[in-house]
Structure 1
Amino acid sequence: MMNRRRLTQTLFALPFGAALPGLGRAQGMPDFGVLKAGYAQRLKKILAAGELPYVDMESSCNPTRVDIDFVAKNLDRLNIGLMALSADIGEGQFKRGVRYDGLSEKLVAAYPDRFIPIGNGGQPPALTEAPAEFMDAQEAAAVKRQIMCLGEFEFHHYPSGRQVKRGEGDERHVNVPIDGPTGHRVFSLSEKTGMAFQIHYEIEDALLAPLEQMLAQYPKAKVVWCHLAQVRYSERATRYNAAYVDGLIRRFHNLHFDTAFGDSASVYRPSNQRHARIWGSDGGLAGEWRDLLAAHPKRFLSALDLGGDRMDRIGEYDQRHRYFLKLLPAEIQHQVAYRNAWSLLFGEEFA
């Protein structure tokens, strides 16, 4: 019997979709190769109809409340190709001892050509109150091939404007050192398995050096930094601009960014600042950010950032994301929409 370390190291040395000795695939989960074929067929069908599919790499939900059929019907209605819909373990589940929620199994069982099996969201209370147990559960899911990628880990997270309005500001202000024990474990797991993971990491001068150090220490970790150019307090982020991101991209070859951000009028209530800095004064892309996307088109991913309190707004979020995509040259639209996600998931170009 292999120990856990050996199992994890062996995981992605096997052909894609193969079962590990003595384990097999998790009950109810299709072979990854079967999922991949279904994904390709769906993307090509939407393309053949003259529409642009995209892969939403970053959305999450309350797994006890999500209406799976509602989400799937809207994916079809809006010609969204695929969605990585992550389960967030809430307070109630956490108190019952849940450290891994198997929502992905339900999603894939019901709609195997629409949903990407993804790990749980790394957020309070699981990541802050029981980080070792939470990571044990995510690693076990990776070893059993229940997931293709890890979820979004909230290392530094300010409350959203909606949460502040509801009086939830204090409990949603998260600060987990990215270079602490949990950060090292996440980066290491990504290196060992080849699975990508996402980070919510507020853009602030004081936080940049620790992230750069982790990227340098784990060069094979596949990191998706969520919310390109989302700066909630400009006075705390004097170094961050398109030139800085360009430098990161050139130094760290496995660093990607998702493109889930507010529109040009979106204001972050606590700072009263327009926090989506990618927009110009005319409502189009600011020149430096447009040039960055053109220079590195393979490093950016589509994302909606739907959450448990806004799943019913999928149409609105889709419209906003498609407006952004239409501002890109045609070839780059396809690269950002689905090709880059495909490469990140499967290690090959979409054909």
Structure 2
Amino acid sequence: MLTRRALMSVAAMLPMSLGGLALAAAQPAAGALDVARLKEGYRLRIQRILAGGVMPYVDIESSCNAGKLDLDDLAKAMDDCQIGLMALSADIGQGAFERGVRYEDLNTRLLQHYPDRFIPVGNGGQGPALMEATEAFEAGEEKAIADGSVLLLGEYEFRHYPSPRQAKRGDLDRDVNVPLDGPIGHWLFALSERTGMAFQIHYEVEDTLLPVIEKMLTQYPRARVIWCHLAQVRYIERAASYSATYVESLIRRFPHLMFDTAFGDATSRYPLSQQLHARIWGDGGGLKPEWLDLIVAHPDRFLSALDLGGDRLNRIHEYDAKHRLFLRCLPGDVQHQVAYRNAWRLLFNEEFA
């Protein structure tokens, strides 16, 4: 049964003339999405926030433990922060994996209660499921696409150091190194080419890894790739060749490559290297000129993101404030592009209007 808050949320996104019939119809049935109805709800929410004088944005990349998600609290926080939409994927953690979960259907719950806020996303591609039950995990993702129940695939971890929070608490097990040009990578890039479905990758910036992603982008030129965490470099000595100029060279060569803008603030240090790992910030707290110039020159290739995870969903207000600081560094028209227009075009192959 829908909560009172959920009912109000659904009702608010619908034209008043449709009444109770439209309210009932807004609840998606199992299987294929009613994309037209979702789009209308998303559009109304974004337009409503804009009309209130606030910049809405689409968080293209966050994740959670579906079993521990307080959905009402998260939806309220989105309203408090005036966040437009969120692509919230479910991670299959160790506990769920041990219970036999190979595909977590969080989307049904999200769309049943808050269809105007959440973008249906495939599961997060990470261990243990991705590496220890690869075929079953892949089958779940492919079925979700075939059923028409997702609009985007979640973040796949190919090279991932322990997160700052894990490093601080001494949890160093999450040192992931799955070859991007191995079987999983080829499956994912080919799947995107075949279906047109965009996917996200966490791929640490290192000189030895850059030729591999270029090779995959060349081999699969129609794959729709979102490389998460623009200019996030955790060990600068391992990434001497990475720069705004290098990223621009990728943009010019690979038209379907995009970047999300989830990264730390100007004071954020990676605990294991003690380095400032968001290389986009200048000394004065604004963006370095070369990175600002890159985004302004190619405003259609960057996406808003918060990178909330299961261990930090309660920090949404803090993450929102930091992301809005970044957006305010951009010229007005570019803000709108990065905040929500690029995500809309990515999801629906049309311009927001």
User: TM over 0.5, yes or no?
Assistant: yes
Q: CA deviation at 1:249?
A: 0.1
In structure 2, the partner of 1:154 is 157
Q: 183, 186, 210: which is aligned to 1:184?
A: 186
The answer as to 2:114 corresponding to 1:108 is: no
Contact 1:26 1:145 survives alignment (8 Å) = no
Q: Kindly provide the amino acid, as one letter, of the partner of residue 296 in structure 1.
A: H
- 1:250 paired with 2:286, answer no
What one-letter code is carried by the residue in structure 1 that aligns with 2:36?
G
Divergent runs of 4+, >3 A: none
Question: In the alignment, is residue 88 of structure 1 matched against residue 84 of structure 2?
Answer: no
Q: For each residue in 1:207-266, what CA deviation from the matched residue of structure 2 results, as whole angstroms up to 9, or x when unmatched?
A: 001100100111111100000000000000010000000000000000000000000000
* TM-score normalised by length of structure 2: 0.91
Cα distance in structure 2, aligned partners of 1:333 and 1:178: 32
Percentage of identical aligned residues: 63
Mapped to 1, the partners of 2:136 and 2:254 lie a distance apart of 30
Shift of 1:97: 1.4
1:15 alignment counterpart: none
Q: Of 285, 293, 296, which aligns to 1:294?
A: 296
Higher mean Cα deviation, 292-301 or 127-136?
Answer: 127-136
What does the per-residue CA deviation read over 1:81-103, in whole Å, with 9 as the maximum and x for residues that have no partner?
Answer: 00001100010111121111001
1:51-70 equivalences in 2 (<5 Å): 51-70=54-73
Give the match for residue 346 of structure 1.
348
Residue of structure 2 aligned with 1:77, choices 71, 80, 92: 80
* 1:34 partner letter: R
1:13 alignment counterpart: none
**Distance of 2:242 and 2:155 partners within structure 1:** 22
- Given the alignment, which residue of 274, 277, 284 partners 2:276? 274
Q: Offset of 1:132 from its aligned partner?
A: 1.8
Distance apart, 1:42 and its partner CA: 0.8
Write the distance in 1 (CA, Å) between the matches of 2:235 and 2:107: 35
Match for residue 122 of structure 1 among 125, 147, 155: 125
**Cα RMSD after superposing both structures:** 1.1
**Normalised TM-score (structure 1):** 0.91
For the residues of structure 2 that align with 1:197 and 1:318, how far apart are their CA atoms? Answer: 23
User: What are the ranges of 5 or more consecutive residues in structure 2 without an aligned counterpart?
Assistant: 1-27
Say which of 247, 259, 262 aligns to 2:261: 259
Local SS of the residue matching 1:283: coil
Aligned residue for 2:61, secondary structure, equals: strand
Distance 1:313 1:103 in 2: 21
Counterpart in the other structure of 1:219: 221
Which residue, out of 205, 208, 221, partners 2:207?
205
Tell me the residue number matched to 2:324.
Answer: 322
